[in-house]
Amino acid sequence: MAVPFKYVLKSFKTRKLTTTITVTGIALVVFVFAAVLMMAYGVQKTLVATGAPDNVMVTRKASNGEISSIIDGDTRNVIRTLPFIAKDSNGKQIISEEPVVVINLEIKKGGMSNVTVRGVSQEVTLLRPQIKIKEGRMFNPSLRELIVGEAISKKFLGAQIGSKVKFAGDYWSIVGIFESNGSGFDSELWGDSDQLLNAFNRGSSVSTLTFKLDNIDNFEKCKRAFETDRRLVQFEPKIEQKFFEEQSEFLATFIRVLGIFITVIFSIGAIIGAMITMYSAVANRTVEIGTMRSLGFSRRSILIAFLTEALFISLIGAVVGLFFASFLQFFTVSTLNFSSFAELSFSFALSPSIVISSFIFAVVMGFVGGFLPSVRAARLNIVSALRGG
């Protein structure tokens, strides 16, 4: 005979309390699991949004990030001779030579944290058009002035318009707040490249150099130019978007591994809860199971029925857990980016792959928790079951 699915659905009405407790346990585990994946994906999404697909970032080979990269003045001049750099309407190259340093700022809620300060060229507005001045104005390249990302302005003391930040032996005035569509630049302070070089006595050596390609299809030619020119072999060009994506890998992987490890521990409790619920269902319905067996339902049908019930409970838990996890997208958090050792603000982000992974995780919990009780239900002796055990 067919699997008694109607019986499975009716059984939920008779065990509301135990079913609700089990659904809640699975929902909490799925919530934590989805939150971890959303956090890791949020980091990746933020840093990938930092770059542009037609910008090329040049760093010294073997450097772990912008902080450890150095490009001297002679190399800067050689790179400027490359024919692949786009120009503005006045024939000026769209390029930004950027020293990057890390300073300490005081958090509003207490404590200190590292913040990235980036020196940029005047052409940066053409290089990164997503940057918009939200309040105040752009910095004056002739003065010790800064503009601050909105994430930094919200979190740190003295990072608001009119405030002064002291580093490199001088005071820098904050004259504007900018936004960058939720990219990693929101967690930085920007000033003039030459002013920053002078303040830190770095001569003409910058950390990175970023330019816009005249044609995105010319990247491979650009890459070969670096590989064949002896003056440039120590440096590596990368698509800016790719560079920042790689910068996110270590932190995102760390979050995933640690979070999933914790989630797996929690899931053991949810599995045990599901198993107890299903064993209880079998114990309370032995007569019903015996009746179904006497009516002609096979052992396989009974097993599938109880296993379906366990899976259905886990799927409900997954839906509930994902529903509440989806609200995390409205929250912004910050952490230390291991690649730059500086503050990085990002939002939780939900993707179709996270939804699918969460459902698969819930189904696995339901299957593991429901399999043994389902086998027990299927193996009950008909006569003993009709007698109540």
Convert the pLDDT of each residue in 134-149 to its tens digit.
Answer: 999 999 999 999 999 9
Contact partners, residue 291, CB within 8 Å, separation at least 6: 385, 386
Residues 86-103: what's their mean pLDDT? 91
Q: What is the pTM of this model?
A: 0.79
Question: What is the pLDDT, as a whole number, of residue 314?
Answer: 87
Q: What is the pLDDT of residues 6-47, one digit of tens each?
A: 655 666 666 677 778 778 888 888 998 999 999 888 888 887
| 2 — pLDDT class (breaks 50, 70, 90) | low
- Amino acid identity, position 326: S
Q: Is residue 334 a contact partner of residue 344, using CB atoms and an 8 Å limit?
A: yes
List phi, psi (to 5°) of 374.
-65, -40
**Can you give the pLDDT at residue 177?**
95
Count other C-beta atoms under 10 Å from residue 139's C-beta. 24
Higher-confidence residue: 162 or 301? Answer: 162
Read off the pLDDT of each residue in 352-373 and give the average, rounded to a whole number: 86
For the cut 90, the answer to whether the pLDDT of residue 246 exceeds it is: no
Higher-pLDDT residue of 342 and 69 is 69
Please tell me the predicted confidence (pLDDT) of residue 89.
86
List all residues 6 or more positions away from 174 whose beta carbon is below 8 Å from its beta carbon: 136, 145, 146, 147, 148, 158, 159, 160, 161, 162, 163, 164, 165, 189
**According to the model, what pLDDT value does residue 140 have?**
93
Is 204 in contact with 197 (CB distance < 8 Å)?
yes
Do 85 and 54 touch, CB atoms closer than 8 A?
A: no
Where does the pLDDT of residue 388 fall: very low under 50, low under 70, confident under 90, or very high at 90 and above?
Answer: low
Q: What percent of the chain has pLDDT over 70?
A: 84
The tens digit of pLDDT for each residue in 273-326 reads 777 776 666 666 665 666 666 656 666 776 677 777 778 888 989 999 999 999
Under a CB-based contact definition with an 8 Å cutoff, are residues 201 and 191 in contact? no
pLDDT at 190: 95
Average pLDDT over the chain, rounded to an integer: 84
Write a three-state SS string for the chain: CCCCHHHHHHHHHHCHHHHHHHHHHHHHHHHHHHHHHHHHHHHHHHHHHHCCCCEEEEEECCCCCCCCCCECHHHHHHHHCCCCECECCCCCECEEEECEEEEEEEECCCCEEEEEEEEECCCHHHHCCCCEEEEECCCCCCCCEEEEEHHHHHHECCCCCCCEEEECCEEEEEEEEEECCCCHHHHEEEEEHHHHHHHCCCCCCECEEEEEECCHHHHHHHHHHHHHCCCCCCEEEEEHHHHHHHHHHHHHHHHHHHHHHHHHHHHHHHHHHHHHHHHHHHHHCHHHHHHHHHCCCCHHHHHHHHHHHHHHHHHHHHHHHHHHHHHHHHCEEEEEECCCCEEEEEECCCCHHHHHHHHHHHHHHHHHHHHHHHHHHHCCCHHHHHCCC
What does the pLDDT read at residue 293?
61
Examine the pLDDT at 207 and tell me if it is beyond 80: yes
Tell me, what's the pLDDT at 325? 93
Q: What is the pLDDT of residue 213?
A: 93
- Calculate the alpha carbon distances from 228 to 62, 71, 212, 222 in Å: 18, 18, 21, 10
Comparing 97-106, 257-266, 292-301, which segment has the lowest mean pLDDT?
A: 292-301
Spell 48-67 as b/e; 16+ CB within 10 A means b: bbbbbebbbbbbbeebebbb
* Predicted local distance difference test score (pLDDT) of residue 288: 61
d(CA 207, CA 363): 49
pLDDT above 60 (res 133): yes
Q: Give the per-residue pLDDT at 11.
A: 64
What pLDDT score does 160 carry?
92
